[in-house]
Homo-oligomer: A and B are copies of this chain.
Amino acid sequence: MSTHGPDDAAAAPREKKTRRGAGGITLRDVAKLAGVAPITASRALNTPSAVSPEVLQRVREAVERTGYVPNMLAGGLASNKSRLVAAVVPTIAGPVFLETVQALTEALAERGYQLMLGQSGYRDSREDALLETIIGRRPDGVVLTGIMRSPEGRRRLLASGIPVVETWDLTPTPIDMLVGFSHEKIGAEVAAYLHRRGCRRVATISGDDERALRRHRAFSDAAVKLGMALRGENKVPSVVVPAPTTLGSGRRGVADLLAGHPDIDAVFCSSDLLALGVLTEAQARGIRIPEQLAVVGLGDLSFAADLHPALTTVRIDGTTIGRTAAQFIIDRAEGRPVASPIHDVGFTIVERGSA
């Protein structure tokens, strides 16, 4: 406004340029109603102990009367804390990560944090795009299922400064924090377990995701060392099926296995669903479990214990993973240092009827 127009010198100061005014109740309205400054109303809601009981009372009444709901977008922008945590899973369709996601959601909700869910697919391509939209929300933390392999992704995440928890795997060089277990150790221990149970011709059915393949490899190597492979072979028979794994691929997998190697006496499946498929196919063919064929699954899903025969499987404590990840993120978000940011939750071989 470089020149004054001809209008009266005492003209009312040009009225406030009001914008889209979402129309909603704001903290200002509440404060006005309670007869205090907005910041005081803010304190009454966020740090009740910092205001007088009388003011607290008045503000609460005003909130009640107006039905005010704080705008956390605005709050997050101002305070640089979004109270949002992003989780990235390959797919939510496979039941494997559910327990982790559920525990994560609950543990976060208890502390006033919300979960944003992203699916990366089992191929890496979408992960980078997903990362961009996640970082754009300025979450207080990111939980990854599996470790981030793409160097580009690691860089972005690191650069963003957002606390990151990688899960469901172990690496000496996590981006930031880690809650997981060793897939290699699982493979080796299952092989040893089957060996102790007297199995000598073992095989695997494995999803084609990277972690399952690593379990398979470790299993195969250990089995060879224990003399459970065909003489002269340096690996055990195996079928790879596309992730996410299903009962159907388990049935077909064991059928393929049996066609090529009728003499196998044990199968290590990369998921309980696959194992259920093996049990199903065995039942259909009249193969006795575990006498003719021992079966080991992975996941200890809710149905494993109640199957007939009950499924021997590798239990991963997804709940602990989820809760620990939540704790790590919240500690960081609230400025508490995380003592030991690498946590191995281990695993358990749950011995049941099928092996």
Q: Contacts A95-B95, A277-B306: A118 and B105 contacting too (C-beta < 8 A)?
A: yes
Q: Contacts A114-B118, A303-B246, A306-B277: A102 and B92 contacting too (C-beta < 8 A)?
A: yes
Q: Contacts A130-B109, A137-B114, A308-B283: A102 and B73 contacting too (C-beta < 8 A)?
A: no
Q: Are A69 and B132 in contact (CB under 8 A)?
A: yes
Is A98 on the interface with B (CB-CB < 8 A)?
yes
- The number of residues on chain A lying at the interface, defined by a beta carbon within 8 Å of a beta carbon of chain B, is 63
Separation in Å of the A232 CB from the closest CB of chain B?
35
Q: Are A247 and B306 in contact (CB under 8 A)?
A: yes
Q: Are B119 and A109 in contact (CB under 8 A)?
A: yes
Chain B residues lying within 8 Å of A98, measured Cβ to Cβ, are: 92-93, 95, 98
Chain B residues lying within 8 Å of A276, measured Cβ to Cβ, are: 303
Q: Contacts A73-B137, A159-B67: A117 and B105 contacting too (C-beta < 8 A)?
A: yes
Q: List 27 A-B contacts (CB under 8 A).
A: A20-B80, A23-B161, A69-B132, A71-B77, A71-B138, A72-B133, A73-B82, A84-B137, A92-B101, A93-B99, A101-B117, A105-B118, A106-B119, A109-B118, A112-B133, A114-B116, A114-B118, A114-B133, A115-B117, A116-B116, A247-B306, A248-B305, A273-B302, A276-B303, A277-B306, A280-B308, A283-B308
10 closest residue pairs by CB, A with B = A247-B303, A248-B306, A72-B136, A284-B308, A247-B306, A117-B117, A73-B77, A69-B135, A246-B302, A73-B76
Measuring CB to CB, which residues of chain A are less than 8 angstroms from any residue of chain B?
A: 20, 22-24, 67, 69-74, 76-77, 80, 82, 84, 91-93, 95, 98-99, 101-102, 105-106, 109, 112, 114-119, 130, 132-138, 156, 159-161, 246-248, 251, 273, 276-277, 280-281, 283-284, 302-303, 305-308
